[in-house]
Copies of this chain bind each other. A is one copy, B any other.
Amino acid sequence: MSAGLTKGQETRQRIIAEAAAIFNQRGYEGCSIQAIMDATGLEKGGIYRHFESKEELAAEAFDYTWEAAWNARMLQVDEKSTGIARLKQLIANFVDHRSPVAGGCPVLNTAIDSDDGNPLLRARVSQALHEWVSRLQSIAKQAKKQGELDSAVDPKTVATLIVASLEGALMISRLERTDDALRRIQQHLNQYLDSAALQTG
Contact = CB atoms under 8 A, between A and B. Distances in A.
Of A108, A116, A122, A169, the most chain B CB neighbours within 10 A belong to A116
A29 B157 CA distance: 35
A115 B169 contact: no
B174 A169 contact: no
Interface string A119-130: 000100110010
Copies in the complex: 2
A161 B165 contact: yes
Interface string A77-105: 00000000000000000000000001110
Interface of A: 25-30, 102-104, 108-109, 111-113, 115-117, 122, 125-126, 129, 133, 154, 156-157, 160-161, 163-169, 171-172, 174-176, 180-181, 184-185, 187-188, 192
